[in-house]
Amino acid sequence: MKELTTYELAQVSGAGVSGGDVAEAAGAGAAAGAGTGAVVGAAVGGPIGAGFGAVVGGLVGALAFGVDSIVDQIQNDGGSVS
């Protein structure tokens, strides 16, 4: 997955991405990230670590999946991210 800088985000063109697309992608990412974070957190710090890991993993997963999905959608619509 390509990480976008603030400048790169300003260079997105030909976009056809709705708020629903973003929310759906972020939700999927949050669920996946929370599951992974809970497993890692439990290994490091037991039940408290699992809870903390789920929260952090959910946030990271939402962002990562959301950005990746947005880039894919823009490219599928014939736009570009450079």
Query: Using one digit for the tens of pLDDT, what is the confidence trace for 22-49?
Result: 556 666 666 677 777 777 777 776 766 7
Instruction: Answer whether residue 53 is part of any domain.
Output: yes
Predicted confidence (pLDDT) at residue 78 exceeds the cutoff of 70: yes
Residue 1 lies in a domain: no
| Percent of all residues in the chain with a pLDDT value above 90, rounded to a whole number | 0
Evaluate whether 69 touches 2 at the Cβ level (below 8 Å): no
| Size of the chain in residues | 82
Task: Give domain status of residue 58, yes or no.
Answer: yes
Output the pTM of the full model. Answer: 0.36
The answer to the question of residue 8 being in a domain is no
In a domain, 3, yes or no: no
- Mean per-residue pLDDT over the chain, rounded: 64
Domain that holds residue 41: 21-71
CA distances 34 to 18, 69, 80, Å, are 24, 18, 30
How many domains does the structure of the chain reveal?
1
**Residue 63 neighbours by CB under 8 Å, 6+ apart:** 26, 29
CA 55 – CA 76 distance, rounded (Å):
31
Q: Does any domain span residue 78?
A: no
Compute the average pLDDT of residues 56-78: 69
Residue with tokens 């708020």: 19
Is 77 contained in some domain? no
